[in-house]
């Protein structure tokens, strides 16, 4: 099929590329001229494992192209996907101005029947607003359908998640676009759940809030573990082997972040409020998450006492492993907190250093993870990159002024670290 994706970011570029890989003809549109120019020249604006290779193959095969023009994208395709940002506003509600703007642009360019599919994460009932807006601004007065198709991919695993989804959710107002949506997703052999639009929109917020809840739950358990001398990893393993619970999202840490969970949680709390329900449970999820970071900072301060002019090494800046994304990253938040206390920072991330440079100032960026500890009073692990498990611990211990390691991701075994001579402080153990 001929598909256009408007918004070529983490979701749009992966979606467009994976659709092309499945045999569709795809135009990825973005208003960021620099991004499109880079992609047209064979460059990559983001790091996502396996994505560059797929982009190259599909561009070469003539199935994937990039454009600055929504007009062109709408004219040349039957189905238009919207994958633009839906950021949080100051009060936690969703800024829908990008969705509104794209709806108007699509409407202005439509001259024949189109299916307009929202892939961005939006509040329930946004589909109605998109439909109203398109109707209002479409001069040609052609027919169209609006579909909600929320995206569940995880950054860092996005290609695999897209190619092998647990399920595909398709929210519709009429049956007319269902066949086309099924055809688009047929190559992925995944269950397709067809719902009304409101339910589809709600599924995304409900799912993300539940996952955040799971993380806050295990983080709360980690506090009980620390107070009682239990080990949160053993508790998580014991809980997680119960198939009703599952082991995923039961890793205690310094808290969740990223461009989705924090904003989707606050959005869902706001939406619920507007609908007359005080979602206190989710407010508690937010509170536990914020407190988890406070506890971690407190642990560092209690151990090092005064941070002013102490040098601290920080491993990890991305909000999680396998990505260069630093939006709402707990690691960046931690760095800013340590700087506020007067600490001098030496930092490293396998992929996110370039993006971190725009948000972190006056830190030393170190290229080799094993060199970060040089002359530091302590080392902190803030992101769960698998390569950090392969740190040269002997070298790190010798490089530190004092062998103190704070592990915000529980990457190492407590007894082994103590045997190696570290003062090792992790989460819930």
Q: List active site positions.
A: 260
Q: In the bound complex, what is the minimum distance in angstroms from residue 385's beta carbon to ligand NAD?
A: 17
- Order of all β-strands in the sheet with 192-196: 64-67, 25-29, 2-6, 79-82, 114-118, 144-148, 168-172, 192-196
Q: How far apart are CA 200 and CA 194, in angstroms?
A: 8
* 262 interacts with ligand NAD by CB under 6 A: no
Q: Helices in 229-260 by DSSP H: which ranges? A: 232-240
The residues near 390 (Cβ < 8 Å, ≥ 6 apart) are none
Q: Candidates 51-59, 101-109, 160-168, 265-273 — which segment interacts with ligand NAD by CB under 6 A?
A: 101-109
When the beta carbons of 56 and 161 are compared against ligand NAD, the nearer one is 161
* Residue of 17, 65, 103, 121 that binds ligand NAD (CB under 6 A): 121
Neighbours of 192 (CB within 10 A): 17
At how many degrees (to 10) do helices 10-21 and 51-60 cross? Answer: 50
Give the closest residue to 147 by CA, choosing from 175, 114, 170. 170
Q: Helices in 229-279 by DSSP H: which ranges? A: 232-240, 261-274
Give the footprint of ligand NAD on residues 143-162 (CB under 6 A): 151, 153, 155
Neighbours of 141 (CB within 10 A): 7
* Residue of 3, 5, 6, 373 that binds ligand NAD (CB under 6 A): 6
When the beta carbons of 36 and 181 are compared against ligand NAD, the nearer one is 36
Give the footprint of ligand NAD on residues 337-396 (CB under 6 A): none
Q: Candidates 27-35, 54-62, 160-168, 401-409 — which segment interacts with ligand NAD by CB under 6 A?
A: 27-35
CA dihedral 399, 406, 299, 408 (to 10 degrees): 150
When the beta carbons of 31 and 337 are compared against ligand NAD, the nearer one is 31
Which residues are 94's β-sheet partners?
A: 88
Q: In the bound complex, what is the minimum distance in angstroms from residue 305's beta carbon to ligand NAD?
A: 39
* 8 interacts with ligand NAD by CB under 6 A: yes
If binding means CB under 6 A, how many residues of this protein chain bind ligand NAD?
Answer: 28
Inter-CA distances, 426 with 194, 255, 383, 406, 411, Å: 44, 13, 13, 6, 9
* 7 interacts with ligand NAD by CB under 6 A: yes
When the beta carbons of 66 and 98 are compared against ligand NAD, the nearer one is 98
When the beta carbons of 88 and 391 are compared against ligand NAD, the nearer one is 88
Q: Candidates 26-34, 299-307, 344-352, 386-394 — which segment interacts with ligand NAD by CB under 6 A?
A: 26-34
Q: Helices in 41-109 by DSSP H: which ranges? A: 51-60, 70-76, 97-109
* 32 interacts with ligand NAD by CB under 6 A: yes
What x-and-dash track marks residues 59-98 binding ligand NAD by CB under 6 A? -----------x------------xxxx-----------x
* Residue of 10, 217, 249, 268 that binds ligand NAD (CB under 6 A): 10
* 184 interacts with ligand NAD by CB under 6 A: no
* 267 interacts with ligand NAD by CB under 6 A: no
User: Which residue has the CB atom at the shortest distance from ligand NAD?
Assistant: 9
State the burial class of residue 413 (Cβ atoms within 10 Å of its Cβ: 0-12, 13-18, 19+).
Answer: middle
Under 8 Å between Cβ of 376 and 400: yes
* Residue of 5, 11, 180, 366 that binds ligand NAD (CB under 6 A): 11
* 120 interacts with ligand NAD by CB under 6 A: yes
Question: What one-character DSSP code corresponds to residue 388?
Answer: G
Angle at 197 between CA 92 and CA 27, to 5 degrees: 85
Q: Candidates 6-14, 108-116, 288-296, 371-379 — which segment interacts with ligand NAD by CB under 6 A?
A: 6-14
Only one residue has tokens 């920072």, namely 345
Residues that bind ligand NAD (CB under 6 A): 6-12, 29-32, 35, 70, 83-86, 98, 101-102, 105, 120-121, 151, 153, 155, 259-260
């Amino acid at each position: 099929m001929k598909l256009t994706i408007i918004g070529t970011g983490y979701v749009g570029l992966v979606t467009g590329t994976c659709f092309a890989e499945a045999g569709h003809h795809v135009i990825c549109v973005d208003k960021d001229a620099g991004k499109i120019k880079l992609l047209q020249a064979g460059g990559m604006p983001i790091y996502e494992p396996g994505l560059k290779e797929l982009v190259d193959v599909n561009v070469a095969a003539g199935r994937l192209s990039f454009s600055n023009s929504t007009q062109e994208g709408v004219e040349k395709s039957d189905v238009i996907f919207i994958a633009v940002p839906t950021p949080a506003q100051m009060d936690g509600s969703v800024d829908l101005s990008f969705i509104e703007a794209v709806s108007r642009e699509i409407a202005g360019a439509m001259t024949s029947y189109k299916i307009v599919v929202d892939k961005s994460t939006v509040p329930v009932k946004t589909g109605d607003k998109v439909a109203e807006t398109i109707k209002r601004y479409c001069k040609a007065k052609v027919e169209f359908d609006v579909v909600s198709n929320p995206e569940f991919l995880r950054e860092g695993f996005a290609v695999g998640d897209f190619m092998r989804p647990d399920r595909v959710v398709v929210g519709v107002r009429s049956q007319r676009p269902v066949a086309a949506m099924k055809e688009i997703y047929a190559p992925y052999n995944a269950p397709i759940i067809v719902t009304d639009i409101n339910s589809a929109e709600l599924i995304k917020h409900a799912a993300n809030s539940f996952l955040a809840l799971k993380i806050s739950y295990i983080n709360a358990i980690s506090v009980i573990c620390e107070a009682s001398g239990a080990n949160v990893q053993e508790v998580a393993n014991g809980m997680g082997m119960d198939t009703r619970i599952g082991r995923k999202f039961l890793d205690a840490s310094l808290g969740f972040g990223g461009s989705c969970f924090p904003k989707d949680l606050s959005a869902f709390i706001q939406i619920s409020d507007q609908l007359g329900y005080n979602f206190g449970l989710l407010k508690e999820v937010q509170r536990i998450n914020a407190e988890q970071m406070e506890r971690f900072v407190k642990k560092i301060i209690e151990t090092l006492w005064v941070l002013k002019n102490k040098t601290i090494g920080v491993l990890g800046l991305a909000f999680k492993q396998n990505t260069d994304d630093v939006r709402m990253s707990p690691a960046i938040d931690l760095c800013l907190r340590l700087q506020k206390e007067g600490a001098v920072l030496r930092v490293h991330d396998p992929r996110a250093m370039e993006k971190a440079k725009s948000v972190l100032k006056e830190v030393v960026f170190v290229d080799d993870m094993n060199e970060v500890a040089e002359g530091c009073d302590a080392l902190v692990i803030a992101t769960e990159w698998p390569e950090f498990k392969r740190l040269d611990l002997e070298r790190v211990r010798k490089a530190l002024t004092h062998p103190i390691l704070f592990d915000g991701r529980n990457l190492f075994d407590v007894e082994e670290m103590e045997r190696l001579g570290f003062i090792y402080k992790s989460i819930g153990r």
